[in-house]
Structure 1
């Protein structure tokens, strides 16, 4: 219940600093992959989809641990457990995609909405972490922009 509250209340979002959030971020990532499975399948045509799913999970974990390492270097180890919480708004990405489809807008915008939702909730001020997130978001958009 605290996670649902954290999706919409900034103070509740900033209070989550627990180790279970790593598992929750992993689950959120897999929910997004499953929601967009048709697009993922067409993006990686001719390859083993289980391998692709495993590679995507490894890439996500490397990215998350990179952000955790940057956070530990910049602001201390205690704040590291709040990094996986940044991925919680992405669980709403499939819902955003359905709403955008109803409005006849591109589905790729659902990732933009989730990214902005995450940025607004986290209020991250460290320029290094913010630039790493923006760069990764740019790479993600290069992949999902042809899903339109």
Structure 2
């Protein structure tokens, strides 16, 4: 029950300062890709899907390192260690997509809901970090809107 509180209460979310947060973000990213595997496969049809999967993981890791470096420069090392946990709400993306399809709404909004959920959990909205996150989300949404 303690783990579920971090999805709702910002204070509990900010208290997590463990080094395992980066591993959790990679697990969340891979869970989202596997849950949308058919769409991922159709996006990269005609190429080696395994290598594209690895390339996506490398690109996501570089994105996290960039954000963690920005957070470390702006807010300190302790915040940078826990920053990758802002990707945690994306674990609910397949559930959001299913619920939106039941309501006859565009399933692509599932990523928007998860993005807004992660913005609400982050404590400080530093303009530089927020602009990098919004740019990355807009690039993700350009691909995802064709998936769903």
TM-score (norm 1): 0.96
Deviation digits for residues 1-50 of structure 1 (CA, Å, limit 9, x no counterpart): 54432112211111111101111111000000000101101111111111
Native 8 Å contact 1:68 1:83 kept in 2: yes
Equivalent residue, structure 1, for 2:25: 25
Number of paired residues?
A: 148
Alignment partner of 1:18: what SS?
coil
CA distance in 2, matches of 1:60, 1:136: 10
- Whether the 8 Å CA contact 1:124–1:130 is kept in 2: the answer is no
Structure 2 runs not aligned, ≥5 long: none
Once residues 4 and 17 of structure 1 are traced to their aligned partners in structure 2, the CA distance between those partners, rounded to angstroms, is 17
CA distance, structure 2, for counterparts of residue 31 and residue 108 of structure 1: 17
Partner residue, 1:90: 90
Counterpart Cα distance in 1 of 2:50 and 2:147: 21
The answer to whether the 8 A contact 1:90-1:114 is kept is: yes
Pairwise CA distance, 1:73: 1.0
Which residue number corresponds to residue 7 of structure 1? 7
Please, which runs of 5 or more residues in structure 1 have no aligned partner? Answer: none
Q: 1:76-124 CA distances to partner (integer Å, 9 max, x unpaired)?
A: 1121112111000000000000001101111111000000000011133
1:31, 1:91 within 8 Å by CA — same for their partners in 2?
yes
CA RMSD of aligned residues (A): 1.1
User: Which contiguous aligned blocks of 4+ residues in structure 1 show a shift greater than 3 angstroms?
Assistant: none
Q: 1:46-65: per-residue Cα shift (whole Å, max 9, x none)?
A: 11111011001001000000
State the alpha-carbon separation in 2 of the partners of residues 123 and 79 from structure 1. Answer: 10
